[in-house]
Structure 1
Amino acid sequence: MNKKKIELQVLNISNSQAQVGAYAMVLGEVNGPRQLPVIIGSAEAQSMMIEMRGIIPPRPLTHTLFASILKALGVNLLRVLIYKVDNGVFYCYLYMKAEETILRIDARTSDAVALALRMNAPIFIYDDILEAECLKTEHSITINENEDNTGNTAPQKTLEQLKVALQKAIDEEDYERAAQLRDIINQHKKQ
């Protein structure tokens, strides 16, 4: 079975209002409208933000150390694949190549993404998982639907769509997803 894979990129990392001390990482479909919110820990969030901002700490952090060890051993990170979701928890594989051997290693999504950022490896997810778990963004609305009578875009429409998705998650008693949606709505309001 060869399922379609979609490439993702890290769009944003912000404080999670759903869980104290946690962060919401938003992964976005490359050249597409879908976004995937993932709740991650503070250490992983800090590690990713440091790498994304190009900050070089005085001593290597854990993910930097691990990436350095892999490189020193001649191991390449080929890709990261989010292959399953269960009760809001995403499961991930690291695909590595050591000489002629391909290794598949189970990893937490947050660790896998932090490592992918450091080793310039692509991040993939199965299309059916992304479709089931994603949020549609304003880019998924055609310009005609998103314009008011003056021809200006109306970001309020996207906010309304997020609120509808939030209410649906609450109605379905999917509270973790509802918390993720609430965080994204709050982020939109700040912007």
Structure 2
Amino acid sequence: MERKKAEVLVIGVINIQEPSGTYALLLGELNGNRQVPVIIGPAEANPITMQLKGVETPRPTTHDLFKSCLRTFNIKVSEVLIYRVEEGIFYSYVYLKHNHDVVAIDARTSDAILLALTFHAPIYMYDDILETQCMPYDEDEELDDYSMANESEEAESVEELEMALEKAIKDENYELASVLRDKIKKQK
């Protein structure tokens, strides 16, 4: 019997307070109300959040390099499939298409989702995984934005924020730079 797939969207990346340094990549069912949190670390959260916010880096990231390689050889990411979960770890395939050939590549779910976001490819999850891993959903509850801004001092003036932004870019802390850029825009 073939397993049913459900398309999911990235709702956001949420900072989880405990254990420290972990984040939840929140996936939501397209045309449904089921949501699944995928636990990831800050190294995975940062590039996903940057992609969601459209932050451009001064130098190519690893995912930018991979994207360039795929595009150079006319290979497309056709879809991502989350096919298994075991002890809280999600397993995914990235489907690459070249001409009429499609190949499934095993990947960490965070990397697979980042590639799907980069290539605007659909993300699927087997329905049985979505059902067993979904969390209760409250439509009135708002999600907190992923933010590393708490790691910096709270700056109040635009000048202080701009100096902090320059330092974040110099230190290649692009997620913090993104948050600071947004704060500057709001204050201006």
* TM-score with structure 1 setting the length: 0.70
Deviation beyond 4 Å, 4+ runs, structure 1: none
Aligned-pair identity in percent equals 48
**AA in 2 matched with 1:103:** V
CA distance in 1, matches of 2:18, 2:125: 24
Q: Which residue of 2 aligns with 1:59?
A: 59
The CA deviation at 1:97 is 0.7
Q: Which residue of 2 aligns with 1:12?
A: 12
2:24 maps to 1:24: yes
How many residue pairs end up in the alignment? 142
CA distance in 1, matches of 2:80, 2:132: 19
Q: Report SS of the residue matched to 1:136.
A: coil
The CA deviation at 1:96 is 0.9
The CA deviation at 1:43 is 1.8
Contact 1:64-1:115 at 8 Å conserved across structures: no
Listed as ranges, the gaps of 5+ residues in structure 1 are 140-154, 157-191
CA distance in 1, matches of 2:19, 2:121: 29
CA distance in 2, matches of 1:126, 1:114: 19
Listed as ranges, the gaps of 5+ residues in structure 2 are 142-188
CA distance in 1, matches of 2:23, 2:94: 22
CA distance in 2, matches of 1:6, 1:105: 20
Contact 1:33-1:136 at 8 Å conserved across structures: no
Equivalences for residues 134-173 of structure 1 within 5 A: 134-139=134-139, 155=140
Give the aligned CA root-mean-square deviation in angstroms: 1.7
Q: Which residue of 2 aligns with 1:116?
A: 116
CA distance in 1, matches of 2:92, 2:18: 22
